[in-house]
Amino acid sequence: MNGRISADELKKLTGSRGEAQLVDVRTASEYAAGHVPGAINIPMEQIEARLDDLRPDCPIVLICHSGGRARLTAALLEPRRTDVTVLDGGTSAWVSAGFPVVVNAATRWALERQVRLVAGLLVATGAVLALTVNPHWLYLSGFVGLGLTFAGLTNICAMASLLCKMPWNRSRRLKAAATSVQGQTCSLRNVSSAGGDGETMLS
């Protein structure tokens, strides 16, 4: 049975190096927007294909925004691992407890959230124009609906591909960071958040 751990308990646990492997199962953009220090990013949909990234020598703590995706991921891992724990309340609980998070200095909305916003706007626009201008605008809403259905069935989303090419979603060049390797751990020098890219710690 997979257990749960509170933010306070996890904070004490992270004080002891090597006690657990922290895995953030959100999307890469959500992870960059703020994650528990020391957590690696393996999105929920990739977890079964990346089992080798999970350390066999220590327990795993799964983290998401509020705990829902982490519990679903724990269920996927249950046949293979019995040492999986979920951070109760997710990153939200961690932040509410006043603990620091590591954020990308130039954060952006998660791509999935952008797709939901654009799709919703297109459907609403099509419906309003169909009622006020011309009934044929209803085809716009239907087209978006078909596109989302196709994306769900094939995992190919044309809207997401288009949004990836937008200026605000283009990858930024990271400044060189000094690393020090000790066993399996790395320490990354923070880059100033004052107009720079990279990661910084917020408390």
Residue 164 is among the residues annotated as catalytic for this protein: no
Q: Would the CA dihedral through 71, 17, 178, 53 be positive or negative?
A: negative
| Cβ neighbours of 38 (radius 10 Å) | 14
| Cβ neighbours of 184 (radius 10 Å) | 11
120 residue type, one letter: G
CA atoms of 81 and 118, how far apart (whole Å): 39
Write down the catalytic residue from 58, 64, 157, 186: 64
Active site residue ranges: 64
